[in-house]
Amino acid sequence: MLSSVESEGLPLPKPDATGDELFRMGLLYSTGQGGAPLDYVSAHMLFNLAAMRGSVEAKVYRKELSQEMASDEVAEAQRQAREWLAHG
C-alpha cells in the first residue's frame, strides 16, 4: 500500500531530509496548506520521522495531533514511518 503522501501524487521526503525539513512537511499536511491535502496520518508520519531526526517541535506536534486521531490512524502513521525508513 502506498503512503497517503505518495498516493496523492505529492513527493515523499528525500531519505536525507533533515528533522527540520520533515517537520515543515508535517506542518503542511497537518494544516492543509502549501498545496498539501489535510492529512493527519501523513502529518503524524512526518512529525514522527522529524522527531527521530532531532526536531523537538515535531515531538510536541506529534503528541497533539495524535490526540485528534483514532488509534488505527496513529498505527497507520507509525507503519508508514517504518516503511519510509526501510526504503530510505
The per-residue pLDDT for range 26-84, each reduced to its tens digit, is 999 999 998 889 999 999 999 999 999 999 999 999 999 999 999 999 999 999 999 99
Contact between 3 and 12 under an 8 Å Cβ cutoff? The reply is yes
pLDDT score recorded for residue 15 = 87
Q: Per the confidence metrics, is the pTM higher than 0.95?
A: no
How would you label 37-73 residue by residue, b for 16+ Cβ within 10 Å and e otherwise? eebbbbbbbbbbbbbebebebbbebbeebbeebeeee
